[in-house]
Amino acid sequence: MELSKLIRKNIASLAPYSCARNEFEGEARVFLDANENPYNEPFNRYPDPLQRDLKRRIAEIKGVRPGQIFLGNGSDESIDLAFRAFCEPRVDNVVAIAPTYGMYQVCADINDVEYRKVLLDENYSFRAESLLAACDEHTKLIFVCSPNNPTGNAMPFEEIVKLLEQFEGLVVVDEAYIDFSSQPSLLTRLEDYPNLLVFQTFSKAWGSAGLRLGLAFASEEIIAIYNKIKYPYNINVLTQQQMLDHLQTPSQVRAWVAILLEERARLAAGLRQLKVVQHIYPSDANFLLVRVDDPVGLYHRLVGEGIIVRNRHSVRLCEGCLRITVGTPRENDILLETLKRWEK
């Protein structure tokens, strides 16, 4: 793989914005360089554009180098930047499994890039050959979401490795739900595959969807391209501070994950007792995809009780399905008791 052939020409030749915080790094007594208001500490100061403290800590936790990390305003920013960096509008295309997370297609459409879907098989799985068969010389990215949303299962590790070995473009593996999975992360393969991008997020297991902080891991060369085209101050001061605090207690996250995995099993067992439930798909994530009788009717009855699940009935291969997030024991009980009451 040659990165210089994958990157858009205008991005390769781009002179990035040089912000005050980048031109001078280090300690000083008086900062009069960025037209900030000297009052209202600490919010008066622009944040570190490269989030160095945060990346140092994340690098320790994840076992990578800080230069292999990009932080974005949610994973959505990492997804969008992949299109903007590598896909020439109306010329290039991307390939993705289907059904999957909706933002890949939305970002493709916004960037005017052809989006090629390859349907998963009856086990919600895929073979590398079928994705590679959908590629041509203009395919820049392949998207694989593992564990996949909305199907819930992890994608076959060896097939992802085959893509990394055989595809000449970049392979994006979205691991938003990896902390709930028994399958290992692709992160350990970062050194082996210069065409690998791994996306993770603090929105799920880390309990911080409101902070908007997504992670992308890739070679230092790819991360340098991301840094060149991102908004200079894409992660605000509050988010950086709050996440640094949160990263002091990774044991808290492990405890949450343990509870949610137990609850996932208990919720599945409870749902299995119900006559309306036809099938519960295996899950490596913090949600269950459940096929039910009359999904649309059931969805609206639940809304009437103030219980909101995700209706996936209109998604190809998910006909008849609701996607149910695993909540607290109390929340899961409310759902189960409500459904049980209606069976009588």
Ligand X SMILES: *Cc1c(COP(=O)(O)O)cnc(C)c1O
At its nearest, how many Å lie between ligand X and the CB of residue 266?
22
| Nearest-approach distance from CB 76 to ligand X, in angstroms | 4
Nearest residue to 312 via CA among 301, 300, 320, 303? 320
CB of 149 to ligand X, least distance (A): 4
**Nearest approach, Cβ of 344 to ligand X (angstroms)?**
35
Q: Which amino acid is at 113?
A: V
Q: Give the Cα separation of 36 and 204 in Å (integer).
A: 35
CB of 2 vs ligand X, minimal distance in Å = 28
Cβ proximity to ligand X: between 73 and 339 the closer is: 73
Closest CA to 3 of 223, 231, 232: 223
Name residue 291's beta-bridge partners: 279, 321
Identity of the residue, 107 or 302, whose beta carbon is nearer to ligand X in the bound complex = 107
Residue 162 to residue 308: CA distance in whole angstroms:
39
Residue nearest to ligand X (CB): 74
Shortest CB 217 distance to ligand X, Å: 14
- Least distance CB 339 / ligand X (angstroms): 24
**Residue 59 near residue 66, CB atoms below 8 Å:** yes
How far is CA 10 from each of CA 4, 15, 80, 333, rounded to the nearest angstrom?
A: 12, 10, 16, 54
Question: Which residue's CB is nearer to ligand X, number 8 or number 100?
Answer: 100
Inter-residue long-range contacts of 58-62, CB under 8 Å, 24+ positions, other chains counted: 58/215, 58/247, 61/247, 61/250, 62/187, 62/217
C-alpha span between 330 and 336 (Å, rounded): 10
Nearer to ligand X, 102 or 329 (CB): 102
Q: What is the nearest approach in angstroms of ligand X to the Cβ of residue 261?
A: 17
Amino acid letter, residue 331: E
The residues near 287 (Cβ < 8 Å, ≥ 6 apart) are 149, 150, 152, 323, 324, 325, 326
Closest residue by Cα to residue 120 from 149, 161, 92 = 149
Which residues, including other chains, have CB under 8 Å from residue 49's CB and lie 6 or more apart? 19, 21, 22, 232, 233, 234
Choose between 242 and 338: whose C-beta lies nearer to ligand X.
242
State the minimum distance, in angstroms, from the CB of residue 109 to ligand X.
17
Please report, as a single letter, which amino acid is at residue 106.
V
Rank residues 203 and 332 by Cβ distance to ligand X and give the closer one: 203
Where on the chain is the footprint of ligand X (CB under 6 A)? 74-76, 101, 145, 149, 174, 176, 201, 203-204, 209, 214
**DSSP class of residue 64?**
S
Query: According to the 3-state scheme, what is the secondary structure of 214-231?
Result: EEEECCHHHHHHHHHHCC
Q: Pick the closer one to ligand X by CB: 21 or 124.
A: 124
Name the strand (E) or helix (H) holding 75: helix 75-86
Question: Residue 167 or 287: which CB sits closer to ligand X?
Answer: 287
Q: Which is nearer to ligand X, 21 or 126 (CB)?
A: 126
